[in-house]
Amino acid sequence: MASGRRNKHGARQVRDMIIRLHDHFGVSCMSAEDGEKLYALLQPILKNDESVVLDFTGVRFFLTLFFNASLAKLAQDLGTEFVRSHITVEALASTATHHIDRAFRLGARMADDETYRGQVIELANRPLVSA
């Protein structure tokens, strides 16, 4: 991922805000609710055209659901390339990076394909267990 905005000499222009996910979510980033909380933290920062570092130090468990509710929604709302260029990920296990890539692909498709977006929203709103 990108490492924040840089000037013409390659130096960082501004100091990026750091969000330590362990401080907010503990050792696991797994639920849609936690992903929505991360979205709420990130959205105003990115809307202000600021960069942010997501520090995963101490986080051991991940689900795509968490990244879909945060990064995919940001990519859908603000554009995948914009979000990728404003977020740096640190201390994320290499085995978990596919979750982020998948979330960005989902966000891009949700932004570009209205039919697909409707289908995903319909599925997300279905109860997991029938009564």
Cβ 54 vs Cβ 46: under 8 Å: no
Q: What is the pLDDT of residues 42-101, one digit of tens each?
A: 999 999 999 999 999 999 999 999 999 999 999 999 999 999 999 999 999 888 889 999
Give pLDDT, residue 6: 53
Indicate the SS3 state at residue 57: coil
> What secondary structure, in 3-state letters, does 68-101 show?
HHHHHHHHHHHCHHHHHHHEEEECCCHHHHHHHH
Give pLDDT, residue 5: 52
Element (H, E) at 116: helix 114-125
Q: Which residue has the tokens 């991922």?
A: 1
CA distance 85 to 106: 17
CA distance 87 to 81: 10
